[in-house]
Homo-oligomer: A and B are copies of this chain.
Amino acid sequence: MAAESSILIGQKPVMNYVLATVIQFNQGAKRVSLKARGRAISKAVDAAEIVRTRFLPGQVDISAVKIGSEKVGEPGKERVVSTIEIVLERK
Protein backbone atom coordinates (compact mmCIF):
# COMPACT_ATOMS: atom_id res chain seq x y z
CA MET A 1 0.00 0.00 0.00
CA ALA A 2 1.42 3.37 -1.03
CA ALA A 3 1.81 6.04 1.64
CA GLU A 4 0.23 8.56 -0.74
CA SER A 5 -3.11 8.15 -2.40
CA SER A 6 -5.31 10.33 -4.54
CA ILE A 7 -9.09 10.32 -5.04
CA LEU A 8 -10.86 12.20 -7.84
CA ILE A 9 -14.21 13.62 -6.70
CA GLY A 10 -16.91 13.32 -9.39
CA GLN A 11 -20.66 12.95 -9.59
CA LYS A 12 -21.27 10.12 -7.13
CA PRO A 13 -22.81 10.78 -3.70
CA VAL A 14 -20.42 12.39 -1.23
CA MET A 15 -20.47 9.35 1.06
CA ASN A 16 -18.82 7.22 -1.65
CA TYR A 17 -15.77 9.47 -1.53
CA VAL A 18 -15.81 9.64 2.27
CA LEU A 19 -15.70 5.85 2.48
CA ALA A 20 -13.03 5.58 -0.23
CA THR A 21 -10.88 7.99 1.80
CA VAL A 22 -11.40 6.16 5.10
CA ILE A 23 -10.50 2.85 3.41
CA GLN A 24 -7.25 4.36 2.11
CA PHE A 25 -6.28 5.47 5.63
CA ASN A 26 -7.28 2.12 7.12
CA GLN A 27 -5.07 0.39 4.57
CA GLY A 28 -2.09 2.38 5.78
CA ALA A 29 -2.04 5.55 3.68
CA LYS A 30 -0.24 8.44 5.38
CA ARG A 31 -1.73 11.08 3.07
CA VAL A 32 -4.85 11.08 0.89
CA SER A 33 -5.45 13.86 -1.67
CA LEU A 34 -8.98 14.74 -2.71
CA LYS A 35 -9.03 16.39 -6.13
CA ALA A 36 -12.00 18.05 -7.80
CA ARG A 37 -12.93 20.43 -10.61
CA GLY A 38 -15.79 22.83 -11.17
CA ARG A 39 -18.98 22.16 -9.24
CA ALA A 40 -17.51 19.08 -7.55
CA ILE A 41 -15.25 21.41 -5.53
CA SER A 42 -17.94 21.91 -2.85
CA LYS A 43 -18.33 18.14 -2.60
CA ALA A 44 -14.59 17.67 -2.10
CA VAL A 45 -14.68 20.10 0.84
CA ASP A 46 -17.73 18.28 2.26
CA ALA A 47 -15.99 14.90 1.95
CA ALA A 48 -12.81 16.17 3.63
CA GLU A 49 -14.78 17.72 6.49
CA ILE A 50 -16.91 14.61 7.04
CA VAL A 51 -13.79 12.41 7.20
CA ARG A 52 -12.01 14.82 9.55
CA THR A 53 -14.88 15.53 11.95
CA ARG A 54 -17.04 12.40 11.91
CA PHE A 55 -15.14 9.34 10.65
CA LEU A 56 -11.57 9.90 11.85
CA PRO A 57 -11.89 12.68 14.44
CA GLY A 58 -8.57 13.57 16.05
CA GLN A 59 -6.75 11.24 13.65
CA VAL A 60 -6.35 13.28 10.47
CA ASP A 61 -5.52 16.90 9.72
CA ILE A 62 -5.97 18.96 6.59
CA SER A 63 -2.33 19.58 5.76
CA ALA A 64 -2.81 21.59 2.56
CA VAL A 65 -5.51 23.11 0.36
CA LYS A 66 -4.48 24.27 -3.11
CA ILE A 67 -6.67 25.91 -5.71
CA GLY A 68 -5.92 26.46 -9.38
CA SER A 69 -7.27 26.51 -12.93
CA GLU A 70 -7.18 23.99 -15.74
CA LYS A 71 -8.15 24.04 -19.40
CA VAL A 72 -10.62 21.34 -20.40
CA GLY A 73 -12.38 20.38 -23.62
CA GLU A 74 -11.37 19.81 -27.22
CA PRO A 75 -9.08 22.22 -29.05
CA GLY A 76 -11.12 25.21 -30.18
CA LYS A 77 -13.76 24.54 -27.54
CA GLU A 78 -11.55 24.85 -24.49
CA ARG A 79 -12.81 26.40 -21.33
CA VAL A 80 -11.18 27.09 -18.00
CA VAL A 81 -12.37 25.31 -14.86
CA SER A 82 -11.29 25.84 -11.29
CA THR A 83 -9.63 23.01 -9.39
CA ILE A 84 -9.00 22.13 -5.77
CA GLU A 85 -6.69 19.67 -4.06
CA ILE A 86 -7.23 18.93 -0.36
CA VAL A 87 -4.53 16.89 1.37
CA LEU A 88 -5.63 14.90 4.42
CA GLU A 89 -2.79 13.60 6.57
CA ARG A 90 -2.77 11.11 9.40
CA LYS A 91 -1.49 12.70 12.62
* Chain A interfacial positions (CB closer than 8 Å to B): 38-42, 45-46, 48-49, 53, 62, 65-69, 80, 82-84, 86
Contact = CB atoms under 8 A, between A and B. Distances in A.
B65 A49 contact: no
Contact of A49 (B48, B49, B82, B86): B82
Contacts of A39: 42
Contacts of A80: 49, 53
Contact of A53 (B49, B69, B86): B69
A39 B38 CA distance: 11
Contact of A45 (B41, B49, B53, B62): B41
A71 to B, nearest CB: 11
